[in-house]
Amino acid sequence: MHNSTGLSSGLMVEAPSCSFASDNTAGVAPEVLDAMAGANTGPAIAYGADPHTGAFDAHIERLFGSGAKGLLTWGGTGANIVGLSTLVRPYQAIVCAESAHINVDECGGVERFTGSKLIDVPTIDGKLTPAHIEAQLHVLGDVHHPQPGAISISQLTEYGTLYSVAEIQALSDCAKAAGLRVHMDGARIANAAVALDVPVRAFTADAGVDVLSFGGTKNGLAYGEAVVFFDQSLVSEAEFNRKQAGQLPSKMRFLAAQFNALLDDDLWLRNGAQANRAAQRLVAGAEKIPGVEITQRPAANAVFARLPRPVVRQLQAWSYFYVWAPGQPDANGEIFDEVRWLPSFMTTDLDVDLFLAGVAEAMAAH
């Protein structure tokens, strides 16, 4: 894979064919590519007035209840922008975790498109709590201060942690009591749904979430996310926001067909389960390798571990992954970096076992 460090790793073991760098390094699920080809028959009116988009609408109602409406968008930043711009006015602020993707990984897209401030709060594990919300409420009604108008939570979080259904309900209750809306960034919602082992509706629509970015790209699509609205009164405005944000696909059928392939027969959950299982297998093997410290057990598909820096460098040259948090020299002058390993729906047992063998070889030689 491109973006290896370009150095020879010197490791004897064969590198896995799947990357552990991110779930967006994976390709497209075969069922999804087939669905695109299957949609390529004759003409179709653009922008969603086609049968594939109709079938997608039915899937959303099936999953989230009658009245739920999903608007397809190109990508995750776009989905978040469309959802959040529908929830808040520019003088309102969005309360989120400091680590939230909308806060650190979207180049300020939310601020530019909405005009709103993000109030980002430090967290231990990427999860907001009702106390985080309550600490922001004293400014409500005071014109000098940006008015908290929505919270945004990530499920999974960017730290790979998971909100329970009860935690989401508690956040929603707290937010709603103060008049705030609730947004969920579900870029990895399939992994979360599998990990929670409840219907997706239970921790979204039924737990007080107003708008959900339903991720597709990281779970097997070539492109595409859906912004799902559980409050019908928001949909009309959202459709204009989607168009104005440049997030309305022209040949919509090719996106809807992909999503339908994912939602038919619950392929999305099977894909999510595959990634989660790979993470479990990975952590089970890694913790047996002397010198590897698991810093966070995977709630779903994200594994965090700490390794000596020379080992990290050698492994990256062999099969690239990201350093999550660089370490500082310890008393012996040795540096241990925290790394993230993120299997995808494509990661096989063989990939995991090869990766573990590489880690073991590098650690043994260290």
Query: Using CB under 8 A, which residues numbered 215 to 244 contact its own copies?
Result: 217-218, 222-223, 237, 239-244
DSSP 8-class letter at 215: E
Q: Is 234 helix (H, G, I), strand (E, B) or coil?
A: helix
| Contact call for residue 58 and its own copies (CB under 8 A) | no
When the beta carbons of 246 and 310 are compared against its own copies, the nearer one is 246
When the beta carbons of 308 and 343 are compared against its own copies, the nearer one is 343
Q: How far apart are CA 228 and CA 182, in angstroms?
A: 12
Q: How far apart are CA 249 and CA 261, in angstroms?
A: 18
Exactly one of 64, 203, 254, 304 binds its own copies (CB under 8 A); that residue is 254
Exactly one of 171, 248, 273, 360 binds its own copies (CB under 8 A); that residue is 248
Contact range with its own copies by CB under 8 A, out of 85-93, 164-172, 260-268, 305-313: 85-93
| Contact call for residue 148 and its own copies (CB under 8 A) | no
CB of 332 to its own copies, least distance (A): 25
What DSSP string runs through 70-131?
EEEESSHHHHHHHHHHHH--TTEEEEEETT-HHHHSSTTHHHHHH-PPEEEE--SSS---HH
When the beta carbons of 224 and 272 are compared against its own copies, the nearer one is 224
Number of residues near its own copies (by CB under 8 A): 79
Exactly one of 35, 64, 69, 78 binds its own copies (CB under 8 A); that residue is 78
Which residue type is seen at 249?
P
| Contact call for residue 83 and its own copies (CB under 8 A) | no
| Contact call for residue 249 and its own copies (CB under 8 A) | yes
Exactly one of 45, 58, 177, 284 binds its own copies (CB under 8 A); that residue is 45
- CA dist list (Å): 22 to 149, 207, 308: 32, 29, 21
- Site track for its own copies across 179-218, x = CB under 8 A: --------------------------------------xx
| Contact call for residue 286 and its own copies (CB under 8 A) | no
CB of 222 to its own copies, least distance (A): 4
| Contact call for residue 145 and its own copies (CB under 8 A) | yes
CB of 194 to its own copies, least distance (A): 21
| Contact call for residue 318 and its own copies (CB under 8 A) | no
When the beta carbons of 153 and 256 are compared against its own copies, the nearer one is 256
Q: Facing residues of 95 across strands?
A: 119, 151
Tokens of 303: 């594994």
Place of tokens 């779930």: 23
Exactly one of 72, 84, 93, 263 binds its own copies (CB under 8 A); that residue is 93
CB of 38 to its own copies, least distance (A): 10
Q: Are strands 293-296 and 225-229 parallel, antiparallel or unpaired?
A: unpaired
- Do residues 227 and 213 lie in contact, with contact meaning Cβ atoms separated by under 8 Å? yes
Place of tokens 């998971």: 162
- Of 104-133, binders to its own copies (CB under 8 A) are 104-109, 111-113, 115-118
When the beta carbons of 114 and 172 are compared against its own copies, the nearer one is 114
Cα 39 versus chain centre, distance: 27
What phi and psi values does residue 58 have, to the nearest 5 degrees?
-65, -40
When the beta carbons of 37 and 166 are compared against its own copies, the nearer one is 37
Contacts of 116 (CB under 8 A, 6+ apart): 84, 88, 89, 90, 91, 92, 93, 94, 110, 146, 149
Cα 65 versus chain centre, distance: 23
| Contact call for residue 49 and its own copies (CB under 8 A) | yes
C-alpha closest to that of 73 among 169, 181, 220, 213: 213
When the beta carbons of 325 and 364 are compared against its own copies, the nearer one is 325
CB of 90 to its own copies, least distance (A): 5
Q: How far apart are CA 81 and CA 159, in angstroms?
A: 21
When the beta carbons of 146 and 298 are compared against its own copies, the nearer one is 146
When the beta carbons of 146 and 208 are compared against its own copies, the nearer one is 146
